């Protein structure tokens, strides 16, 4: 029994069950068709000009989001509330008003090239850290011309540099702005897109294959391929798999971390050993993708440690890496971040770098909470370009979430998490943290019809299907 794609066989996209005797006729299941549209054009780099200053992206971000914030301000604090620029605060005195700007978080523990230089000159060394927040951190709000320190009712540990916000309050006698309330740009109003069909259709999400350190991952990975292709389970399970329309791989497929255990060799061989590990992992990935693409459409995103450009947005993995799988038109290299429409559902997500970076600079520790915060901040990666490197955009900020997605995901997270976010204007967004397959041996299945979501585990010690998380 096998579910195959149109390119691989004349019985295209059909699940065939072999007859038990000559008189029986075979049962045929066809792979469900589903519309698809890529919305990731803004993440593609048409030119590569690194002579620009990074200040431009902050200016564009504030300009683009000012309109969104102004509407939120009127809805939250009334149509008569005064919105002022920073240079106008002196005229307001102690009267309450609203100011809009970009948050800058002053952090003494933040990594700095100047600190690295001081270490080279044997000055006071900086202890190695993975978390960079401290009680001494300060919030500063910047607009096009000036900046002012924020105090009051805005927790310094729950925001990061780069978030655009509106704050209500007044300037105190020390030249600081006393915050009484605040609001974010928020989630845009939902766009009504009628579903093409009431039948269940599924997409499958996975991330973090980490084939450079495959170890005990190869058997679960082969089980996944057999499961998605219709080789596993009874007739009911195979019929269910015929409703899976697309697989999305969210980064770190070749490599999942900075270092891997390798045999102890002389220094002259270490570089070559590392190169051979990556090469072997890429070949394994090609073998995996050729099996997968023969039965279903596959979107593969680059991740932090994959052989792609390091700066966000990461460009698609080159097809020359996959000489076998690239023969199939069902293999699609896509950027990170990635946005598309599948079956009239808008899907948006990243391979996880923005979520991991935010966790280093504030006290938000739960990945699903951080994912929700980025949605409410209306920005995929607010810490770009401060602590997360990105391309120096000049006339746009492609990371702004301008339209409400139906599914919003982050790959390479410690464990599976899911939450249905419901906004004040009827927004319903399925938030998903996709676990690294190399550790959890599980993928995530999402029903496009009702946005139900559940993990499927391919470990021999865990249940195959824990059931939907609603």
| Mean pLDDT value of segment 189-217 | 84
Out of 99-103, 238-242, 276-280, the most confident range is 99-103
Region at 164 (left for phi over 0; alpha for psi -120 to 50; beta for the rest): beta
CB neighbours (10 Å) of residue 267? 6
Of 24-38, 219-233, 256-270, 430-444, the least confident: 256-270
Question: What local confidence, expressed as pLDDT, does residue 51 receive?
Answer: 80
The mean of the pLDDT values for the chain is: 84
pLDDT tens for 353-376 read: 999 999 999 999 999 999 999 999
358-361: list long-range contacts, CB under 8 Å, 24+ apart: 358/160, 358/382, 358/383, 360/130, 360/131, 360/132, 360/387, 361/105, 361/107, 361/110, 361/132, 361/133, 361/160, 361/161, 361/387
**Closest-CA residue to 12 (of 429, 296, 363):** 296
In sign, the C-alpha dihedral spanning 191, 192, 197, 198 is: positive
CB neighbours (10 Å) of residue 318? 12
Q: Is the pLDDT of residue 403 over 50?
A: yes
Q: Is the pLDDT of residue 462 over 80?
A: no
Domain residue extents for the chain: 34-46+190-352+359-457, 82-184
| Mean pLDDT value of segment 138-146 | 93
| Mean pLDDT value of segment 96-102 | 94
Instruction: Look up residue 56 and give its two tokens.
Output: 């431009």
> 34-46+190-352+359-457: what CATH class?
alpha beta
> 82-184: what CATH class?
mainly beta
Q: Is the pLDDT of residue 4 over 60?
A: no
Point out which residues pair with 443 in neighbouring strands: 456
More confident residue, 129 or 447: 447
Q: Is the pLDDT of residue 32 over 70?
A: yes
| H or E element in which residue 454 lies | strand 453-457
Q: Is the pLDDT of residue 11 over 60?
A: no
Phi, psi of 88 (to 5 degrees): -95, -5
Cα 75–Cα 79–Cα 65 angle in degrees, nearest 5? 55
pLDDT above 90: percentage of residues in the chain? 61
- Rounded to two decimals, what is the model's pTM? 0.87
pLDDT tens for 61-79 read: 999 999 889 999 999 999 8
Question: What local confidence, expressed as pLDDT, does residue 18 receive?
Answer: 39
Question: What local confidence, expressed as pLDDT, does residue 170 receive?
Answer: 92
Assign 24 a pLDDT band (cuts: 50, 70, 90). very low
Residue 421 to residue 374: CA distance in whole angstroms: 12
């Amino acid at each position: 029994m096998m579910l195959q794609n149109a390119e691989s066989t004349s019985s295209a996209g059909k699940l065939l069950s072999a007859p038990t005797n000559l008189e029986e006729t075979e049962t045929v299941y066809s792979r469900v068709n589903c519309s698809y549209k890529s919305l990731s054009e803004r993440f593609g780099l048409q030119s590569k000009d690194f002579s620009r200053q990074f200040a431009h992206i902050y200016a564009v971000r504030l300009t683009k989001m000012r309109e969104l914030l102004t509407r939120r301000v009127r809805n939250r604090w009334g149509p008569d509330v005064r919105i002022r620029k920073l240079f106008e605060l002196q005229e307001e005195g102690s009267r309450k008003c609203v100011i809009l700007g970009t948050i800058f978080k002053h952090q003494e523990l933040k990594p700095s090239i100047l600190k690295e230089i001081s270490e080279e000159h044997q000055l006071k060394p900086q202890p190695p850290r993975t978390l960079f927040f401290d009680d001494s951190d300060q919030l500063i709000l910047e607009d096009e011309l000036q900046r002012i320190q924020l105090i009051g009712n805005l927790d310094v540990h729950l925001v990061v540099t780069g978030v655009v916000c509106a704050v209500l309050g007044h300037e105190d006698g020390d030249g600081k702005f006393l915050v009484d309330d605040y609001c974010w740009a928020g989630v845009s109003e939902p766009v009504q897109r009628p579903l093409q069909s009431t039948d269940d259709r599924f997409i499958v999400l996975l991330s973090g294959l980490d084939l450079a350190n495959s170890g005990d991952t190869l058997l679960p990975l082969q089980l996944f391929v057999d499961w998605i292709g219709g080789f596993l389970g009874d007739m009911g399970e195979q019929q269910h798999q015929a409703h899976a329309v697309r697989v999305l791989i969210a980064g770190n497929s070749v490599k999942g971390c900075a270092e891997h255990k390798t045999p102890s060799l002389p220094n002259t061989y270490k570089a070559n050993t590392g190169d051979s590990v990556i090469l072997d992992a890429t070949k394994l990935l090609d073998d995996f993708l050729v099996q997968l693409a023969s039965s279903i459409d596959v979107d593969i995103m680059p991740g932090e440690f994959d052989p792609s450009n390091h700066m966000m947005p990461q460009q698609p993995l080159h097809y020359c890496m996959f000489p076998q799988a690239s023969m199939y038109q069902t293999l699609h290299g896509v950027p990170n971040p990635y946005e598309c429409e599948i079956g009239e559902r808008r899907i948006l997500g990243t391979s996880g770098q923005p979520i991991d970076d935010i966790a280093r600079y504030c006290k938000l520790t739960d990945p699903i909470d951080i994912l929700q915060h980025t949605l409410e901040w209306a920005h995929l990666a607010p810490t770009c370009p401060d602590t997360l490197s990105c391309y120096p955009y000049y006339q746009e900020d492609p990371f702004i979430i301008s339209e409400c997605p139906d599914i919003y995901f982050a790959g390479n997270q410690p464990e599976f998490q899911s939450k249905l976010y419901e906004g004040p204007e009827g927004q319903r967004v399925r938030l998903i943290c996709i676990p690294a397959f190399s550790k959890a041996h599980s993928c995530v299945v999402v029903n496009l019809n009702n946005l139900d979501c559940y993990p499927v585990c391919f470990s021999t010690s865990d249940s195959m299907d824990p059931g939907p998380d609603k």
